[in-house]
Amino acid sequence: MSTKKNIIDDGFRADLVRTAEFIGVFEIPAIKAPSEFIIPKDTIPFSLRSQTKDYSEFIVFYEHDIKFADVLTATEDYLDELMNFPGIVSPDCSLYRDMPLVLQIANTYMNRAVGLYLQSKGIYVIPNVRWGDERTYTTCVLPEKIAFVGLPKHSIVSIGTYGCIQSRENKHYFKEGLRAMIEELQPEIVLVYGGMPDEIFDEFKDKTKFIQYTDWISKKKGVK
């Protein structure tokens, strides 16, 4: 008879949230505000991290979820590698507007859980903020604005526009979510991965400090 221990993955990833403070009715893990603001020199997508020249960039996850799925399921396996970089932006788990609300909540949870875990291991973590449809950034359905639960106020956060603002409808939802985020979190600094069209951002430029980073595809094409 085999003595090999059977390990069952229940999907909870309790190891990620052992040190967590859980916030709100859905008990979302909280990512702590950093003791100081560190502004990334540059960014590099997780899947392309091996292309770094000097490990001076922050790791970001603004790419298809499948490219960083292993970070969500085996986070501890990447600790040593991620520690070579000055910091990361927490995972950008997708929140599509046509996604069932329960999955939008679950992906918000994973964003915070992985971010908190890496933070607890000494990695500098800038929280990524992602919203989906209006149910995630208003209280029209939920008792809280789930997209912002577990994030520090008056701090530094990051958002990604790459692939999110092509159509008029997408721009509308992105702008409304951005307005809600600024009102709720009142961030000191907002990092922006991707384009910053005036029609979305001009209204908010006197409310916080935006720092823009060219997305990887545009960078390779020589677009600034």
* Most distant pair of Cα atoms in the chain: their distance: 69
pTM: 0.92
> pLDDT digit of tens for each residue in the chain (224 aa)?
334 444 455 667 899 999 999 999 999 999 999 999 999 999 999 999 999 999 999 999 999 999 999 999 999 999 999 999 999 999 999 999 999 999 999 999 999 999 999 999 999 999 999 999 999 999 999 999 999 999 999 999 999 998 888 889 999 999 999 999 999 999 999 999 999 999 999 999 999 999 999 998 888 777 66
How far apart (Å, rounded) are the C-alpha atoms in residues 25 and 35?
A: 27
Q: How far is CA 152 from CA 31, 71, 116, 182, 189, in A?
A: 7, 23, 12, 12, 12
Q: Hey, where are the domains in the chain?
A: 27-220
